[in-house]
Amino acid sequence: MTLKLGVPSKGRLMEKTFAWFARHGIELSRAGSDREYAGKVDGIEDVSLILLSAGEIPRELAAGRIHLGVTGTDLVHEKLPRWEQQVEEIAPLGFGQADLVIAVPVCWVDVETLDDLDAAAAAFRATHGHRLRIATKYHRMVREFLTDSGVADYTLVDSQGATEGTVMNETAEAIADITSTGETLRANHLKILSDGLILQSQATLWRSRVAEYGATEKAALTEVMRRLG
């Protein structure tokens, strides 16, 4: 058996993760073409690379199918209830920084805070006969955050991508999504509530607490940890 390391299979996270491990003497690469999802590990014994969707890595760690995995804090917190019991945070990687925020249309001049949103939500229901809709793919975190903030009169609508467009498309009145440069929010005429920051996320290396660690995996893990210093 080998120590299984799960890494995002495409895009900026994959390339930056490869570069981060290379700086620690662990060379990760795709085994074949860009379209092939087999991975290759050089510079260390008994470690194998599994290329996966960033969104699936939390579940694979929690199921113990991989021992180590790289994915964003946002995805671990969203997908794993009581995540601390299932995974251990080993190292923040210093890239993939993004904030999960609540945003509303810029033209809502009276809505700057969560309290304002709560008032607007109540007024919205009275006027429209249905609850104000917040589009997101982060259902668990948004629900918890709004409950703790005392905002109640809303409904979540699922959006798995292009979430900022839902307001213009009139399928939601507000959104909760990841923002990095803020460009997507600006382009879609949305503003962040002043107290609307739910989570600051970044790409992180996680260790599964439930995977099996035989002698080979233990030795490989010790060596990985030694390299990471």
Ligand X SMILES: O=P(O)(O)OC[C@H]1O[C@H](OP(=O)(O)OP(=O)(O)O)[C@H](O)[C@@H]1O
Ligand Y SMILES: Nc1ncnc2c1ncn2[C@@H]1O[C@H](COP(=O)(O)OP(=O)(O)OP(=O)(O)O)[C@@H](O)[C@H]1O
Q: Residues in contact with ligand Y, total (CB under 6 A)?
A: 14
Residue 123 or residue 168: which is nearer to ligand X going by CB? 168
Alpha-carbon distance of 217 to 153, in angstroms, equals 49
CB of residue 177 to ligand Y, shortest distance in Å: 9
Using the rule CB under 6 A, which residue among 34, 127, 150, 161 binds ligand X? 161
Alpha-carbon distance of 214 to 16, in angstroms, equals 30
Using the rule CB under 6 A, which residue among 180, 194, 200, 222 binds ligand Y? 180
Query: Pattern 72-111, binding to ligand Y, x per CB under 6 A?
Result: x-xx--------------------x-x-------------
Expressed in angstroms, the distance from the first to the final Cα of the chain is 24
Judged by CB under 6 A, does residue 199 bind ligand Y?
A: no
Which window, 103-111, 141-149, 156-164, 167-175, contacts ligand X (CB under 6 A)?
156-164
Alpha-carbon distance of 120 to 199, in angstroms, equals 23
Judged by CB under 6 A, does residue 53 bind ligand Y?
A: yes
- Sheet containing strand 203-208, edge to edge, reads 47-52, 3-8, 68-72, 203-208, 87-92
Judged by CB under 6 A, does residue 180 bind ligand X?
A: yes
Q: How large is the greatest C-alpha to C-alpha distance in the chain, in angstroms?
A: 65
Judged by CB under 6 A, does residue 33 bind ligand X?
A: no
Judged by CB under 6 A, does residue 11 bind ligand Y?
A: yes
Which window, 12-20, 77-85, 158-166, 197-205, contacts ligand X (CB under 6 A)?
158-166
Strand partners, 155: 133
Strand partners, 38: 50
Q: How many helices (H) and strands (E) does the chain have?
A: 9, 12
What's CA 141's distance to the chain center, in Å? 11
Using the rule CB under 6 A, which residue among 60, 74, 78, 164 binds ligand X? 164
Residues of the chain by 3-state class (helix, strand, coil), percent to 5: 35, 30, 30
User: CA–CA distance from 209 to each of 84, 158, 215 (Å)?
Assistant: 9, 30, 16
Judged by CB under 6 A, does residue 168 bind ligand X?
A: no
Alpha-carbon distance of 22 to 176, in angstroms, equals 35
Using the rule CB under 6 A, which residue among 7, 13, 104, 174 binds ligand Y? 13
- Residue 55 interacts, among ligand Y, ligand X, none and using kind-specific CB cut-offs from 5 to 8 Å, with ligand Y
List of residues contacting ligand X (CB under 6 A): 161-162, 164, 177-184
List of residues contacting ligand Y (CB under 6 A): 11, 13, 53-55, 71-72, 74-75, 96, 98, 178, 180, 201
